[in-house]
């Protein structure tokens, strides 16, 4: 009987019923629709009262760093998982290192 509670269907049903009851209990404690706080519908931008959001992030500097870390993490993974006893794998790791050097030189060219 104890193992039937661990089956996915039964576990999902028990969690679903528990969370539904918890949600209904918390709905009774939450703010009612007529008691909204002032300013909850207004836009907020760094303490300024504005009609639109003035923050427009620029991702032009993010993508080179993301590419840089992706390249280095793949190379580190390849080097770390190369078995020392097989010489063919060492050559594959060296190809990855060479590819990383080319990719980084392209990435940081000016």
Residue 49 in any domain: the answer is no
Structural domain boundaries, residue 6: 1-31
pLDDT-based confidence at 15, cuts 50/70/90? very high
- With cut-offs at 50, 70 and 90, classify the pLDDT of residue 42: low
Report which of residues 33 and 77 the model is more confident about. Answer: 77
Domain for residue 83, yes or no? Answer: yes
- 75 in a domain, yes or no? yes
Q: Cα(87)–Cα(39) distance, rounded to whole angstroms?
A: 67
Evaluate whether 104 touches 71 at the Cβ level (below 8 Å).
Answer: yes
> Taking the complete model, does pTM exceed 0.75, yes or no?
no
Domain presence at residue 101: yes
| Position 79 in a domain | yes
Q: Is the dihedral of CA 102, 104, 105, 110 positive or negative?
A: positive
- pLDDT at site 64: 81
Residues 49-103 pLDDT 10s: 555 655 666 777 788 888 888 888 888 887 788 777 777 777 877 888 898 888 8
62 or 46: which leads in pLDDT: 62
The answer to whether the beta carbons of residues 43 and 57 sit under 8 Å apart is no
- Classify residue 72: in a domain, yes or no: yes
What are the CB-based long-range contacts (under 8 Å, 24+) for 4-12? none
What are residue 48's DSSP bridge partners? 45
Q: Say what the alpha-carbon torsion angle 77, 79, 80, 81 is, to the nearest 10 degrees.
A: 80
Report the domain count for the chain.
Answer: 2
């Amino acid at each position: 009987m104890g193992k039937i509670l661990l089956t996915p269907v039964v576990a999902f049903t028990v969690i679903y019923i528990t969370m539904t009851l918890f949600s209904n209990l918390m709905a009774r404690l939450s703010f009612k629709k007529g008691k909204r706080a002032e300013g909850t519908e207004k836009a907020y931008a760094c303490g300024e009262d504005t009609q639109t959001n003035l923050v427009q992030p620029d991702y032009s500097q993010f993508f080179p760093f993301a590419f840089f870390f992706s390249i280095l993490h793949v190379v580190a993974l390849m080097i770390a998982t190369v078995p020392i006893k097989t010489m063919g794998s060492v050559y594959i790791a060296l190809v990855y290192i060479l590819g990383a050097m080319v990719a980084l030189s392209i990435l940081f060219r000016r």
